[in-house]
């Protein structure tokens, strides 16, 4: 149980275009989902927290207009990187949490390369 998937697993896009990454909880209802960014050989940095049906809460320094997060259902959250630039290239990982639970379950990650 407690499986989280991400799609796509990797994506290459051209500078200036937008790309959407999906995060799904497959066998539980995720009232809260989290998006992290990981640079090569570094730790995970929390970008934002999203609760189903409400606006995401972004961490300090994360541009909310650039990283659009939508959590429209209890099993799906999406991260859209708008007007992507090469510096947005990174590994993006989502995690999900059930209501009344503290533990998070992590997705396998999406590698984004912007050329």
Partner 1 sequence: GNSVTQMEGPVTLSEEAFLTINCTYTATGYPSLFWYVQYPGEGLQLLLKATKADDKGSNKGFEATYRKETTSFHLEKGSVQVSDSAVYFCALLSGTYKYIFGTGTRLKVLA
Q: Which of residues 12-51 bind partner 1 (CB under 8 A)?
A: 32, 34, 41-44, 46, 49
Q: Is 102 a residue that touches partner 1 (CB under 8 A)?
A: yes
Identify the sign of the CA torsion 55, 94, 78, 64: positive
**Preceding omega of 8 cis (within 30 degrees of 0):** yes
- In the bound state with partner 1, the residue whose beta carbon lies nearer, of 32 and 70, is 32
Question: What burial class does residue 85 get, using C-beta atoms within 10 Å of its C-beta: 0-12 exposed, 13-18 middle, 19+ buried?
Answer: exposed
Stretch that binds partner 1, among 13-21, 65-73, 75-83, 89-97 (CB under 8 A): 89-97
Three state DSSP letters for 49-93: EEECCCCCEECCCCCCCCEEEEEEECCEEEEEECCCCHHHCEEEE
Contact between 107 and partner 1 by CB under 8 A: the answer reads yes
**At its nearest, how many Å lie between partner 1 and the CB of residue 65?**
22
Examine residue 99 and tell whether it contacts partner 1 (CB under 8 A): no
| Contact residues: partner 1, CB under 8 A | 6, 32, 34, 41-44, 46, 49, 93, 95, 97, 102-109, 111
């Amino acid at each position: 149980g407690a499986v989280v998937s991400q799609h796509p697993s990797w994506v290459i896009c051209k500078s200036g275009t937008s790309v959407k990454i999906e995060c799904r909880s497959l066998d539980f209802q995720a009232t809260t989902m989290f998006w992290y960014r990981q640079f090569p050989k570094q730790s995970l940095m929390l970008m934002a927290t999203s609760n189903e049906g409400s606006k995401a809460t972004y961490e300090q320094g994360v541009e909310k207009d650039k990283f659009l997060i939508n959590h429209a259902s209890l099993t799906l959250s999406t991260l859209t990187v708008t007007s992507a630039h090469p510096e947005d290239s990174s590994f993006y990982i989502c995690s999900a949490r059930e209501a009344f639970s503290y533990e998070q379950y992590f997705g396998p990650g999406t590698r984004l390369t912007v050329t």
